[in-house]
Amino acid sequence: MSELQRFLFDGLPVRGAIVRLTDAWTEVLRRRAANAELGAYPPPVAELLGEMAAAGVLMHAHIKFEGALILQIAGDGPVRLAVAQVHSDLTLRATASLGGPVPEGIGLPALVNPGGGGRCAITLDAAARRPGQAPYQGVVPLADDAGVPLPSLAGVLEHYMRRSEQLPTTLVLAADAQVAAGLLVQRMPRTGAGNLGGAPEADAAAHDEDYARIATLAASLTRAELLALAPQELLHRLFWQEKLLSFAPRRGAEGPRFACTCSRERVAAMLRGLGEDEVRGILRERGDVEVGCEYCGRQYRFDAVDAIHVFTAADQQPPTPPGVQ
């Protein structure tokens, strides 16, 4: 069963989370494989997308935010766009579009960044966002400050957290055809309400050392261990000498699970975005408009009457949020 486990280190401004996606992840892969047109993901793409899904859950676990966290990588290699979307209730979905053949064993730089044009965007799309209000978005290149391509998604996100959130973070991510998993440990903010007790931090230097020790332990986790072991067992192995406070794990109906937010209304909004001329052109060509959701594979069919009605309906829907098919 998929699960998310958050934890704290007693008395230290260090927090963490571990996620293990099993059924939630295999459902993403199964739906893609069932799509006759697109076909199953090549292993390197599945690995990247699984790591993105795990990272999305870990990042959402540490923000007080109602809405969708959307992790996107736009690339100039075989992967053109990869998207993982996680909601506050831990429902998630993910998809990738490919622009060419994917050689076996290919890593992140060759997969999405051979020309140096790859970008990673983190979007927070609030559930209560007012019409016209833009979602928050942070964008980072897939290279470090010196322009050297980062070898892994974990490295890209660590770089992002350090640079834009000022939070030293250690991430370990891994995914295969059965499991997508991740471990995050993070130095909490030095002052303010986010800190333990809410007071300015008195012994920051000592706590920096504590974080460095915990980060080293976290980084010693191998991909094979992360994929094979249950969260509780991993935490015990890594941090048995630390005073760990674990929250109740979120599993099952409360845990990370696959769900798609596509709907006929959202597809209608997308058609409105295309414009009436374009849609009439499609109708002339094939008599109807059929749109498949890339995340879940659901097909939405609009016959000529339905398709034109989209442009005459009085109750116009708000524009489609990012990442929604």
154 binds Zn ion (CB under 5 A): no
Stretch touching Zn ion by CB under 5 A, among 117-125, 152-160, 191-199, 291-299: 291-299
Instruction: Please state the closest distance from residue 302 (CB atom) to Zn ion, in A.
Output: 16
How many residues bind Zn ion (CB under 5 A)? The answer is 6
Q: Which of residues 2 and 85 has its CB atom nearest to Zn ion in the complex?
A: 85
User: Which range binds Zn ion by CB under 5 A, 62-70, 220-228, 252-260, 282-290?
Assistant: 252-260
Show the site string, 208-247: x = touches Zn ion by CB under 5 A, - = not: ----------------------------------------
- Of 57, 154, 260, 307, which one interacts with Zn ion (CB under 5 A)? 260
Instruction: Answer yes or no whether residue 300 interacts with Zn ion by CB under 5 A.
Output: no
Least Å from the CB of residue 292 to Zn ion? 9
| Residue from the set 295, 302, 310, 320 that interacts with Zn ion by CB under 5 A | 295
User: CB 296 → Zn ion: shortest distance, Å?
Assistant: 3
* Interface region with Zn ion, contact rule CB under 5 A, candidates 61-69, 125-133, 297-305, 311-319: 297-305
HEC string of the chain equals CCEEEEEEECCCCEEEEEEEECHHHHHHHHHHHCCCCCCCCCHHHHHHHHHHHHHHHHHHHCCCCCEEEEEEEECCCCEEEEEEEEECCCEEEEEEEECCCCCCCCCHHHHHCCCCCCEEEEEEEECCCCCCCCCEEEEEECECCCCCECCCHHHHHHHHHHHHCCCCEEEEEEECCCCEEEEEEEECCCCCCCCCCCCCCCCHHHHHHHHHHHHHHHHCCCHHHHHHCCHHHHHHHHHCCCCEEECCCEEHHHCCEECCCCCHHHHHHHHHHHCHHHHHHHHHHHCEEEEECCCCCCEEEEEHHHHHHHHHCCCCCCCCCCCCC
Residues 114-143 that bind Zn ion (CB under 5 A): none
**68: which residues sit within 8 A by CB, 6+ positions away?**
85, 86, 87, 123, 124, 125, 127, 261, 321, 323
Cβ atoms of 40 and 287 closer than 8 Å:
no
Nearer to Zn ion, 68 or 260 (CB): 260
**Minimum distance from residue 163 beta carbon to Zn ion (Å):** 33
CA pair distance 147, 116, nearest whole angstrom: 9
Nearer to Zn ion, 167 or 293 (CB): 293
Nearer to Zn ion, 97 or 232 (CB): 97
Nearer to Zn ion, 41 or 295 (CB): 295
Is residue 262 at the binding interface for Zn ion, with CB under 5 A as the rule?
A: yes
CB of 258 to Zn ion, least distance (A): 10
Any contact of residue 293 with Zn ion (CB under 5 A)? yes
Output 29 or 260, the one with its CB closest to Zn ion. 260
Binding residues for Zn ion (CB under 5 A): 260, 262, 293, 295-296, 298
